[in-house]
Amino acid sequence: MRVVVLMGGRSAEREISLKSGQAVLRALQELGHEAIALDLTEDLCEKLREIKPDKVFIALHGPYGEDGRVQGILDMLGIPYVGSGVLGSSIAMDKDITKKVLSFHGIKVPKWVCIRDEKEELSWDTYPAVVKPADQGSSVGLFVVCGEEEAEEAIKKCFEISKKVMVEEYIEGRDITVGILKGKPLPPIEIKPKKGIYDYESKYTKGMTEYVFLEDKELVEKLQEIAFLTHKFLELKDLSRVDFRVDKDGTPYLLEVNTIPGLTELSLFPMACRKIGLDFKEMIDMLLF
């Protein structure tokens, strides 16, 4: 099969996307496919028409790759691809809209407000709080703030990379993530960052974070059910990863959804696949068909 791997892109997650893309490319080549790497350039449509791929594997993280824009181009060109379509991708990329949809379905999320203009007055009085762009991934631009002054400074920084900023209730508790592969939930992984907050550095620096598979059967089942329902309610396809905070009483709060989880050597989605006996190549093969 001739497969184009889309990687790189224009988002703040470009570096991670290149690592994910190269890992996918190697796996496809080792599986015997004709795999071709493409970056997100202005002549993408012309290149795709030239190559005539049987399928596209999208390894673009963040805006352009995860927000439905590339998916729309591929739909117009009639080229099938791995992952969610335009609707699911665009909803899941916007943390504000995601929370609104999931709240409607009764899934618990931290309380939040969104700011769409830098001049807009902040109406928030619960601290500590989390400030982050509403449309980025990989914890890009994530701040934990303890007061209004800190919050306003963090909001300014977030507006440098986004047009919509979220201020969210800080849930004291455990970070846990659950992957969905072809409609089935994977084993939940608890994330234990050594610096206390799971930011960009903790995610992508070896040794900065410990990862532990959950053993509490009741919590495992609860998280897997919520992740499965989230995947369904947002109309996602093939793969996703759902991030939670679980408070001291064992109540899960859904934080966000990733439609194109990281596929690097440190990434959680492949780690969860290995736990059920699927190595990286087998996982890629499953996603391709």
Q: Which positions are annotated as active-site residues?
A: 13, 138, 204, 241, 243, 256, 258, 262
Interacting residues of 137 by C-beta distance below 8 A, sequence separation 6+: 13, 61, 62, 66, 256, 258
d(C-alpha 154, C-alpha 167), whole Å: 10
* CA angle (266, 272, 277) in 5-degree steps: 115
> Residue 22's CB: how many other CB atoms inside 10 A?
16
Place of tokens 């795999």: 35
Beta-ladder partners of 115: 165
Residue 121: phi, psi to the nearest 5?
Answer: -75, 135
